[in-house]
Structure formats: structure tokens, C-alpha cells
């Protein structure tokens, strides 16, 4: 229980400092409470697209997913997604064989470069998907990443 209290205090302090410094508005600080938990509970690509408000995703060569061919440690697999298409609203990263497919979901503000980079945890060798919502339609790119040392539960 003490750890939860410490975490809550730490998060409140960071958000409070960000608001005080003008780095974010109070609305943005509380927007984290409105995250799409249903999308993060999905198990497949199609279920994730539906939970994010789409009906299907179309394969696109304009969406570039960068990931290693072989990840030596499944606990920290670097992934980046970019596109030069205009009107990108969201970018999401999915790992097919993880307990929950959706690993990250980013909102792309209008007028900004559509590029995200993060590290994900992978349970085993799996397809990694990049989704991008462009003008209300979902695009997808994929790549298989081989994991040699387990991350999620391995």
C-alpha cells in the first residue's frame, strides 16, 4: 500500500510541476484518466483497430516500421514508426503474441511530424504491427522480430 501511495505522490508532483511550469494545461494533466483501456485489453490486430474506433486497417508502404530483425533482450525492444503522409492523428504499436497486443498508442497533434520511438517488451518472437490513423482511416505495417531472451514472463 505504501508503494501505491508513493507512486500517486510522485505522479501528482510531476504533473503539478508540469502545469506550474506551463508545459501542460490542467486539462492535459487529467487527460490520462480518459485513456482507452478497452484497446489495451485486446488480443488481436482487428480487435485493436475496432477498439480504437476503426473497422479495418489497410496495408501501406507509406507507413515505416523500424525494429530489429533479432532482439537480444525481449524486455527492451526498440521500435520506431514514421510516415510522411499528411493528416496523421494517431500511431499505435502492437505486438501480436504479447498477452495484450497493444503496447503503445500516441496522439499526433495537427501540424507535427508523424514520428514516434519507444521500447516495448516482447514475450517471444512475434509480428510487430504499426497502426496509423490518417484522415479517419487506419493504415498498417508489420515486421517479424525474433526474440532470443524472453521479456514478458520469459
pLDDT in tens, 3-51: 677 777 777 776 666 666 666 555 554 555 456 677 777 888 888 888 8
Q: Which top CATH class is 36-147?
A: mainly beta
Least confident stretch, 28-42, 52-66, 86-100? 28-42
- Is the pLDDT at 153 greater than 50, yes or no? no
What does the pLDDT read at residue 10? 74
Mean of per-residue pLDDT scores for the chain? 83
Residue 49, CA distances (Å) to 81, 91, 109 in order: 17, 11, 20
Ordered by start, the domain boundaries in the chain are 1-34, 36-147
pTM: 0.73
- Which of the pair, 153 or 14, is modelled with greater confidence? 14
Amino acid at each position: 500500500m505504501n508503494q501505491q501511495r508513493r507512486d500517486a505522490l510522485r505522479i501528482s508532483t510531476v504533473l503539478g510541476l508540469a502545469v506550474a511550469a506551463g508545459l501542460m494545461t490542467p486539462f492535459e494533466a487529467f487527460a490520462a484518466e480518459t485513456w482507452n483501456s478497452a484497446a489495451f485489453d485486446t488480443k488481436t490486430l482487428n480487435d485493436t483497430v475496432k477498439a480504437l474506433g476503426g473497422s479495418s486497417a489497410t496495408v501501406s508502404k507509406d507507413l515505416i516500421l523500424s525494429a530489429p530483425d533479432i532482439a537480444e533482450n525481449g524486455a527492451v525492444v526498440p521500435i520506431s514508426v514514421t510516415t510522411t503522409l499528411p493528416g496523421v492523428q494517431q500511431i499505435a504499436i502492437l505486438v501480436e503474441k504479447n498477452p495484450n497486443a497493444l503496447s503503445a498508442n500516441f496522439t499526433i497533434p495537427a501540424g507535427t511530424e508523424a514520428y514516434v520511438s519507444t521500447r516495448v517488451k516482447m514475450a517471444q518472437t512475434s509480428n510487430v504491427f504499426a497502426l496509423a490513423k490518417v484522415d479517419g482511416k487506419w493504415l498498417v505495417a508489420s515486421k517479424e522480430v525474433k526474440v532470443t531472451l524472453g521479456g514478458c514472463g520469459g
